Each structure stands twice: as structure tokens, then as C-alpha cells.
């Protein structure tokens, strides 16, 4: 199943010749977009903050003002950013560059690059631990996960996992990380105390992403090859149930209040999926299937659990879904091939043009520091 045009397929990742740990200077440009670049929606109970979107095919990150559903800023110059992740305090945004094999930390207020570190080949997703001391990336072509110390911008572990690691998330208490191995049938479980894989759980065909319940008792995995989502008990590390969803499910997300599990059904480029499955976590059954846009891929939800944001990979938009009415209330144009998406409490810094030089020396395993 082809998920990303030209640059990446979800199931097979071709390693570009010349991808290495030493990365040349990359220029990152931040530019402000007016209201003509986004469809605003006057709607109740919008939250303050920023929705960050990784636009893989246009080498950019879009910052959406969550209070107005308008594009505030676009950062360009990060090659093939597949995923983006905000820290819990909202002060930093992390993104991975697939073609240059690096993870980048950006100050979410000033839009300045705070640091960069080399990853393994074809990094897919990036997360930050709840205590904000470490970052982890899945390296899809290496079958590894990299762990980084944020303070020193150095690699502290390279962890072998299953085949084709794609999505990953930390448990709420930060003691473990679950990794979806998209070329196989398993989730890898990483102990963050030892940075080693301690278990591999059979879940189903081609898992793409995971999402924890707020209490950490369950984790949910999208099964791209089964058109389903699996529910796993984190105590027994066993799959306890599976529920059919739409075609080609990719990202999953549980609302902070624990009520809903959302699954984005991307389909394929030839036959795009256009829906998000809304599932009641108590009953593990459908509530509704909502139409969003072509190639529904990434999902995030604001801290109040009122609005969800879904990237539509094949029509270059973000849908805003009201979780009270279960209706889409806005569609926001972004860059080409939007994939990963995250919410930050920090309002995005706005300036007509901000040009940032991103330099990294990977010869010693270190990166540009803070």
C-alpha cells in the first residue's frame, strides 16, 4: 500500500544512497500566512495553542492557530518531515527528516532551531518522554529505535526492534515505549530504564501506530494490513480484542478524557480513505464514522478533548472535528502531503520571514546543542 508519494511507502522504505550521520547545513525558513491560506471557522470552545503539521512532500511544517483555525506560520527547509511532536510544556517541537536522517528540535515561540541529532536510516516518528529528558525515533529502514538525551543532544542508545518500526508512543508514566512494527505483525515494548526491548507482542498484520489509554492500562494499535484496530492489555501484554475499521488505518489517538479512540483510515493513493473511526473506549465499539478528507492520516486531540485534528494526506488539508457533535467544523489548507500532527500549548511565533541555519556534526554521535 503506497502511503507517501515518491519519498516513502509505509510498508517498504528505500534507503537513499548517501544518507549518513553527517548532515550538511539546512536552511529553515519561517514565513507568515494570512487568512487566505486557511479556512477559518467561528466555533465554540476552541483552545489556545498551536497545531503543528509535518508536510512531507513540501519539506515544511505548518503552524495552525488553534483558537482561530487559521495558518499562523510555515517553516520550510526540513526535508521529508514525516512526523512532528510537541513537548508537554509546549516549548519545543520535534520533527524528523527522512531523507537527511535527523531529528530537529525547534523553539515553538521563536521558531529557532534549538538542536539537531542524527538518527538511523529513514526515521518515521519521534516522541518525547513525559519528563522531557529524552527523545526517541523509529528508524524504519534499520529496524531500530534511537534514544537521545535532550540536554546534550547525543545518542544514548540504539535499540533493535521488530521489522519496519513506524509509530511509537510512551506510556503515560514514561516507563515503557510501545513501537508498531509496520513490516510485521508485532508491537515492540521498550523498557526506558534500560533502553532495551523487553517484549514483542503479536497483534495483527502491519501495525502502523499505537495510542495509550490515559491510565496506561490499554494500548490500541492500528492494523493496516487487517483494516482493524487491536486492543492490548499492558499488564498481560496480550491482545484482548480486535475491531474492524476503515481501509488502511494509520494513526490512532485516545482523547485525554479517555472517552474516544480515533482511528484515521487512509486507504491508498489510488483509492483514498476519507474517514475517521470514532470508537467508545468503554465498550470498544463504534460510535460513528466521520468523513474528513482524502487520505486521513495523522490525528491529535486538544487537552480539553473537545476538538480533534486530522491530516488529509491526499488533499493537503487538516480537518477540525468537534468531538461533542462529531462533525467537521473546519478544513484548513496546509502543505503538500501532510502526515504527522501534534498540539502545543505554546502560541506559534509569527514573523514575515525567519531564516535559520541548521548545522549538525554527526561524526561523534552528537548534534548541535541548545
**Is residue 348 in some structural domain?**
yes
Question: Residue 7: is its pLDDT beyond 90?
Answer: no
**Is residue 9 in some structural domain?**
no
Banded model confidence at residue 111, pLDDT cuts 50, 70, 90? confident
DSSP code, position 318:
E
* Residues of the domain holding 291: 25-35+43-360
> Which pLDDT value is given to residue 34?
41
pLDDT in tens, 61-73: 999 999 999 999 8
**Is residue 338 in some structural domain?**
yes
pLDDT in tens, 137-165: 999 999 999 999 999 999 999 999 999 99
Q: Which residues contact 44 (CB under 8 A, 6 or more apart)?
A: none
**Is residue 365 in some structural domain?**
no
**Is residue 1 in some structural domain?**
no
For the beta carbon of residue 5, count every other beta carbon within 10 angstroms: 14
In this structure, are strands 154-160 and 165-170 parallel, antiparallel, or unpaired? unpaired
146 and 137 Cβ atoms separated by less than 8 Å: yes
Question: Of 179, 115, 104, 191, nearest to 144 (Cα)?
Answer: 179
Over range 313-339, report the average pLDDT.
97
Cell readout for 19 is 544518507
Over range 195-200, report the average pLDDT.
98
Q: In total, how many domains does the chain have? A: 1
**Is residue 95 in some structural domain?**
yes
CATH number at residue 176: 2.130.10.10
Question: Of 305, 311, 347, nearest to 326 (Cα)?
Answer: 305
Question: Residue 357: is its pLDDT beyond 70?
Answer: no
Over range 182-186, report the average pLDDT.
98
* DSSP bridge partners of 135: 128, 148
> Which pLDDT value is given to residue 62?
93
Question: Of 20, 1, 126, 72, nearest to 346 (Cα)?
Answer: 72
Cell readout for 117 is 541529532
**Is residue 323 in some structural domain?**
yes
180 and 166 Cβ atoms separated by less than 8 Å: yes
**Is residue 273 in some structural domain?**
yes
Amino acid at each position: 500500500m503506497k502511503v507517501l508519494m515518491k519519498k516513502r511507502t509505509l510498508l517498504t522504505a528505500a534507503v537513499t544512497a548517501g544518507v549518513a550521520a553527517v548532515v550538511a547545513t539546512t536552511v529553515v525558513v519561517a514565513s507568515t500566512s494570512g487568512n487566505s491560506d486557511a479556512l477559518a471557522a467561528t466555533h465554540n470552545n476552541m483552545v489556545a495553542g498551536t497545531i503543528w503539521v509535518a508536510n512531507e512532500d513540501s519539506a515544511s511544517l505548518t503552524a495552525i492557530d488553534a483558537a482561530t483555525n487559521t495558518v499562523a506560520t510555515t517553516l520550510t527547509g526540513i526535508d521529508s518531515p514525516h512526523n512532528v511532536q510537541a513537548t508537554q510544556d509546549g516549548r519545543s517541537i520535534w520533527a524528523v527528516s527522512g531523507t537527511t536522517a535527523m531529528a530537529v528540535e525547534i523553539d515553538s515561540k521563536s521558531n529557532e532551531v534549538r538542536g539537531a541529532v542524527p538518527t538511523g536510516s529513514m526515521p518515521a516518528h519521534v516522541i518525547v518522554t513525559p519528563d522531557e529528558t529524552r527523545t526517541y525515533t523509529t528508524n524504519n529502514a534499520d529496524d531500530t529505535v534511537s534514544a537521545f538525551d535532550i540536554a546534550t543532544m547525543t545518542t544514548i542508545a540504539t535499540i533493535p526492534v521488530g521489522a519496519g518500526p513506524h509509530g511509537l508512543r510512551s506510556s503515560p508514566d514514561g516507563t515503557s515505549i510501545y513501537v508498531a512494527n509496520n513490516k510485521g505483525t508485532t508491537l515492540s515494548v521498550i523498557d526506558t530504564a534500560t533502553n532495551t526491548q523487553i517484549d514483542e507482542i503479536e497483534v495483527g498484520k502491519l501495525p502502523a501506530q499505537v495510542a495509550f489509554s490515559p491510565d496506561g492500562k490499554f494500548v490500541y494499535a492500528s492494523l493496516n494490513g487487517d483494516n482493524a484496530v487491536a486492543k492490548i492489555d499492558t499488564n498481560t501484554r496480550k491482545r484482548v480484542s480486535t475491531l474492524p475499521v476503515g481501509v488502511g488505518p494509520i494513526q490512532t489517538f485516545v482523547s485525554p478524557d479517555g472517552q474516544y479512540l480515533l482511528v484515521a483510515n487512509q486507504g491508498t493513493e489510488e483509492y483514498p480513505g476519507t474517514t475517521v473511526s470514532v470508537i467508545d473506549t468503554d465498550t470498544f465499539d463504534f460510535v460513528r464514522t466521520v468523513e474528513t478528507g482524502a487520505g486521513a492520516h495523522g490525528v491529535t486531540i486538544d487537552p480539553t478533548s473537545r476538538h480533534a485534528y486530522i491530516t488529509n494526506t491526499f488533499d493537503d488539508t487538516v480537518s477540525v472535528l468537534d468531538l461533542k457533535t462529531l462533525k467537521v467544523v473546519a478544513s484548513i489548507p496546509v502543505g503538500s502531503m501532510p502526515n504527522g500532527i501534534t498540539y502545543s500549548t505554546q502560541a506559534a511565533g509569527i514573523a514575515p520571514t525567519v531564516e535559520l541555519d541548521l548545522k549538525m556534526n554527526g561524526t561523534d554521535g552528537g548534534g548541535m546543542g541548545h
